[in-house]
Structure formats: C-alpha cells, structure tokens
Structure 1
Amino acid sequence: METAGAAPARCPVTGAGARPAGTATAPVELPRRRTSPFDPPEEYAGLRERCPVAPLRLTLGPGDGGGWLVTRLADARAVLSDRRFSHRNELIGLPLPPPFPLTEYAPPPAAPGAFIKMDQPEHSRYRRLIAKRFTMRGINALTPMITRITEESLDAMEAAGKPVDLVKHFAEPLPVRVMCEMLGVPDEVRGPLGDHLALLGRMEYSLEELITACTVIAEQLQGLLVAKRAEPADDLLSELATGGKVTDEEWVNIAWALLGGGFDTTMNMLALGTFALLTRPEQLTAVRERPELVDNAVEELLRYLTISHFGASRAALEDVELQGTRIAKGDTVVVALPAANRDPAHFGTPDALDITAPTQGHVAFGHGEHQCVGQHLARGVLRIAYPALFRRFPTLRLATGPDEVPLREDMLHYGVHELMVTW
C-alpha cells in the first residue's frame, strides 16, 4: 500500500525509512499545542516531511498493538479507503487520555444502530436507511428551510444587541435547528439533548456526568420514538420509526449518532470560519463581492480549518505496509486530518487561506466508506449562512482582540467557545 511517487522518508524518530516488525522505537505524542488559532500544531509539518508514518504513543489500547500517526494526504486517503483498516470501536487504541481515569480499557463493540463505529456490511446496511435524505439532491430540497432558519437566527442575533456572542446567537442555534427540523426533533427535546450531547464533546468529564448524560439522552430519544410512532410526520426519524426496518434499540442509536455528529460540527465551522474571515479582510471582501466563489470558499475554509483536530483512528486487521513501514495487525493508526489538509505536495499554498485556490481532495469530512454522512448538509448550511451573515452585517467585526477569543482546544471538535462581534 505504498503511496505512488513518494520514496520512504528517513524518520527522525526511528532513524530509518522502514520499521521491521519488532524493532524498538521512540513513539511521538499526538501533537496538541497550537501557536495560532487557525493552524494545526507545528509538529505536524516536521513529521509530514521527515516521518510521514510515525510511531505514536497510545494512552490506552484494547490489546498489545502499537500506534502510528499518518500525516500526508495521499497516505491519509489510502488508509481511510482501505478495508484492511477497521473503524470498530473495540479494536482502536486511544492516543489521548480518557475523560476520567480508567484502571483497564476494554471498549465494547458498537451497539446495534451505532453505525459510525462499525465495518461492512453492518455499516452500509444502516447507512442506506438514512442516505437518501443526506444526498446532495435531498439537501438542495431543504434550501428554503435552511434559508428561513438562517434569517430567523440573524433576526435574533440583531435583536440581542451589540456586542453579541456569534456562537450563542447564530453559529450554534442555526445548524441545531436545521438538523432538528430535518430529523423531526421538537423544541422541548432539543434543549436537553443539546446540553448532554455537548458534555460528551468535552475532553474531560466525570464518570457521574457521563452516566447522567447517557441516561438523559437515551430517555429523551426513547420518548421521542414513542411520539413518532403515535404521530408520524414527514421527517427522517418518523420514517425510521414506522418503516419496520430497525428495532427500538437501533432507532435510538441511529438518532444518537446523527444528532451527536450534527449538533457540534457545523456550529464550529461556522464560528471558526467567521473568525478566520474577520481577521483576513481581503478574503472577506471576496466572499462579500464575488458570490460565485461561495462554494469554493466553503471548501477552502473546511480544508484550512479542519475542526476534527485529533484526526480519524483505524485499527489494522492484518499486517499492512505503508510508506515502507510495516503496520502490524492490531495496531492503531491515527490519520492526522489537519496535517493532511496542509500537505504541500497537494495544495499549492497550504498554510494560507485563499478562497480562490483549488480545494479538491481535502479530507475535512474524512474519506472512503466512513466519510461523514452529513457532509452535504453541512455544506448546505455554510453556503447559505456565511453570505447571509455578511449581507446582514456588512460592517461586522470582532469586538475583542483576536488573542482574546477562547479556543476549543479542550473539545473533540475544534472551534471557539465564544466570538464577540459588533457592527
């Protein structure tokens, strides 16, 4: 599985271009420290250049497997599209400390319906049940709804008065409302679900908090399932509840997976993307004055910012050779999505935000069979929300210094906790 056209690099960690099975190495830690709000940790650049498949220290693992960190785009796409690398929860080690201390680590297999942590054929069976609603055609049909909610969110933001927190009054409620209307989640359920799903997105929480959050989410979803069966509507959760293709447990876990992925990600892209544009006037001017660039601007922001800042993890199901390095069966491979999306071998000026630059091939939504099922929905929201925001507030600007913006380095998805703006 060697990447075409790339000779194995000599790794500063191992001192060699290949690591034979059993060779002792000094693993690197997963890079976490940022020196800029918009750039990934600096260590990625050196690893990508000199050690693109680096031995990685795992905090905990389900077995005796080692860890590897992949930082080049071609290798990232190769790993994420190869069925020899598994997405199963019970096989993957942790590159970061768990939220609370554990005396042992033996993660269970994914629960029925939790398709994100499954391999084929189970993954595709569940994904087919929801895929039609998440196609580009399906999302295009939601444009009037997304536009309406965007304008209502901007009305609320304006009514709140300036200065205002863009996260609280626009970036967070907009995608949450869109997802809930699409799935059919009523207002009275949205709040409790959102609060407890947000806790699970933190890097640290107590065992008691975890139990409470999981209990509340399960109870809310089970109640919603009963309501959907009693009074179905034209929404995805009603379709699943009445279609006879999933059990109650599967329904709850499918809904959990969709809401858990949809509440947090688009919110962070919308807020962090706005922050980036407000600090780059020439890029913001282009977004405002050249509507034909909006689609490419969204893709460039996705590439440049890459909010999945801890990457995507896989477990090797057999021995695999990558860039001259042997990855043993049972090893965990972490694909550094932020590093791959800054690969100079693919992107001309990878560390610059340029909304006119080619963006094809980025992995902000992952790649392969597990590529984010909600990617077209996220794009649909961002394509409408960014232009609408800057039309409504043509003089929008930060109300604080850029270095005063609190960053979400303590969360599974990167972004900003707060973005105070005025106009």
Structure 2
Amino acid sequence: MSSGALPVIVVGGGITGLSAAWELQQRGAPYVLLEASDRLGGKVQTEHTDDGFLVEHAADAFILGKPYAAQLAREVGLEPDIIHPREDTKRLYFLKGGQLIDFPQNMKMFVPLDDEAFLRSGVLSPEGARRFLDEVNVPAKPTTDEDESLAAFITRRFGEAALNFIVPLAAGIYVANPFELSMKAAFPQFLALEQKYGSVILGSRATVRAPGPVFASFQGGMAALAQAIADRLTGEVRLNTRVQQVQSDGVLLEDGQHLRGSGVIVTTPAGSAAPMFEQHFGRAAGLIGALKANGSVAVVLAYRADQFPGDMQLHGLQVDASEGIHLKAVTVHSAKLHGRAPEGHVLLRVFFKDLDPGFALEEAQREVQRLFGAQGEPLWHLCADWRGKNPAYQVGHLEHLQQIRASLPANIQVAGASYTGVGLPDCVNAGRGAAQAAAGQLSVV
C-alpha cells in the first residue's frame, strides 16, 4: 500500500467500527477510527462489580451459525476464552395464563421437532397447536419481491394463535412490533425454507444443525472482544472525537478540524448518523433519519441464592405475548453462563420494552417475587436503558437501505446494526464488508 494513501475514516468505535478498522489493518490500508465517547465497544458493555458479579448491559452471547464473530475472536487471540451456555442448567419456562410451564423440548428456535411433545406442552391451546403443526400443509406463497411483516408471515403459515408463542421468541430479539417487523430483513432464512421446502417446519427438520453449541460468549464477558480488537489496532484511534459533517473527501470534526480521507465508513446508529450527512448529502440524511428505532430496558438484579425458596438453576423464561404484563423475558444469568456470579448468588436480567427505568425496576422486583418467590430486597440493581436505541427493521427495510446506499458516493458508506442485523456476528460482518469495499477506494495524497 502506498505510504501516501489517504486513510479510510471510520466513524464510531462500536463492534462494527472496530471490525472495520481491524479489516483495514489486515489489508495494510491506513485508517483513522473516531469515537465520540470516552470508550470503545458501543452497546457491548461488560461491568465487573467489586463483589464478584459480571454484568452485561446488552448482549450476553452470540450465535455461532453465523461464523463472523467467532472467526474474528480467533484472529485477535480470544479463542481460548470462548465459553458456551451451560447444558446442565438448560431449562426454560414459558409464562402463560399466569403460570410457569416448561418450554417444549426438542425445539429449533420456535419450530418443534417433536409433534407429540409440542402438543402436550400447553404453550398453545390444543386447537392452536394443531393449526401450528398443520403448517406443513399450507402452500408456499408465490415468489415475489414484496416484503411482509413477521405477524403476517406467522398468521399465514402457523395460524393467528401462534402469534402469542412465536412473537416473544422471534420479535423479542429485535424488541419489535411484529406487525411492522420486516421478514426479508429480520428472518430471510424462514422465507427461504418456505420457498425451498414448501414449509418452515419441514425445512427446519430437513436442515441438519451443525454439531456442538449454538451460542457462545467469553469468560470475561462480551466486551472482551472489543478490548481484544482495540489492543491490537496499530492505526490512529481517537476517543472523545465527534464528527459534525461527512464530506466527499473526509469529515469535519466538531472542533472545526477537516480530516481528509479516501473514504468514510459511518457505523454509528442511524439517529446520530443522519445529522452528519445533512450538509452535503441531504437525500441520504433524510433516508437515514427516517429509520425508526425501538426501546428496551434491562433491569439487572443480584440476590443471594437463599433468598429464593426454589432451584434457580435455569436459563430463564419467555412471556406469552397475550399475558398483558410489561415483563417480556427473564434471563438467570448466573445459571446460564459460568462466572457471572459468585457461588451462592443469583444474577437476573429482567427485560421490558419502552418503559421508564424507575418503573421497570419496580416491576422487575415485583415479578421476580411473584414468579420465583424472591424474599427481601436485591443486594443491588442497575438498569441498562436502551430506549430508542434498538433498530426497527420495518417492512420494506431492505428497499429503503438500497435507496440509502444509492444516495451516497461509492467511497462513503453506512454500516452496522441500524442497517443489516443487530447481533454481534452481523455487526462484525458489516464492518469488515464495508472495509473491504473501502480498501478498493484508496487514493493517494
């Protein structure tokens, strides 16, 4: 690479931006990574408390079916630190009608692999369960470019009653309104199964899952990946550096400095990215600004194990969508992954949608007492407030994304969770893909 090449400017130091910088470095391309805050990692935040707990503020694991995060972890030397959810505590409840029932056995996400076990489970009425399983006889929708919502897809293939069971498992990942969430953007794999096999159930059963664990994390928490990448970056990284404008030949910083570059990769959430484009790329700014976001709050509660009358060695619970309560899910983090709580303690993460954090805390303690019999106050609590910060892939999202990209020159890109996937692997893949494209746009001073 020519020593006179202008750098690629990466805006945002979350996992997408870090992955972009790492890819550029691997390719010998100069880069400058700009982060507005005083830390790297974005939403991936791990906190180690003085009393021995490990707290995740956002994602606590990543899926291995998409190989990008695991591959990057190997490249930065984290492979020995990869851990997986515990099999000995792999128990999940489903809250329905105020009762905790065992989640059906032999499931692949929301698809049952055992009809009889699913019928006996009670997660749907007998009629609803039979209609659900009759999905194998529902004709595939003719191939079309038209998008549809998750709710429309579920109702069409599995019946209306199935919404209350599938929505917590599927839309919950996106904290989304199922009547607005785009199937093409969020769950293209199920559309592909329908087209290839004529049935999601038949397709899921015919598709052999790779042996071994489905999910992974790191001994030191999810932020270990961001730290490992950052430790190995040799290019210029600036914290507390806010970008005011994206320009055709670089960026204008908030302090008035003009930083020239061969290209710009903006990895910040759409809400903060849109104003950067207003001055020079008005159409792109409008399109990016039109992307909506959903909100969520995670309440983290720490207890002593003896504050619970029952066994808390389980992964957690999901809530039927018709339950009529604020609670959406609970993860027993201390039992799900090793090293998340000291011996004899329980660490819970209690999830809500767009709820005031103070009210969410009250609701979390009330629900943990009601559902698990918790006695007394938690040892401590904290709230991870993600209101307005979860991308909402609305119907037509991929077409909208095409318009955004068409409105920008080839050397300026947007990448990250606002556009092509919210999970860690998707963000890694987005960052590296953007960097690969940017490396081909390098120009010389």
Give the TM bin, normalised by the shorter chain. under 0.3
In terms of fraction of residues, the more strand-rich structure is: 2
In terms of fraction of residues, the more helix-rich structure is: 1
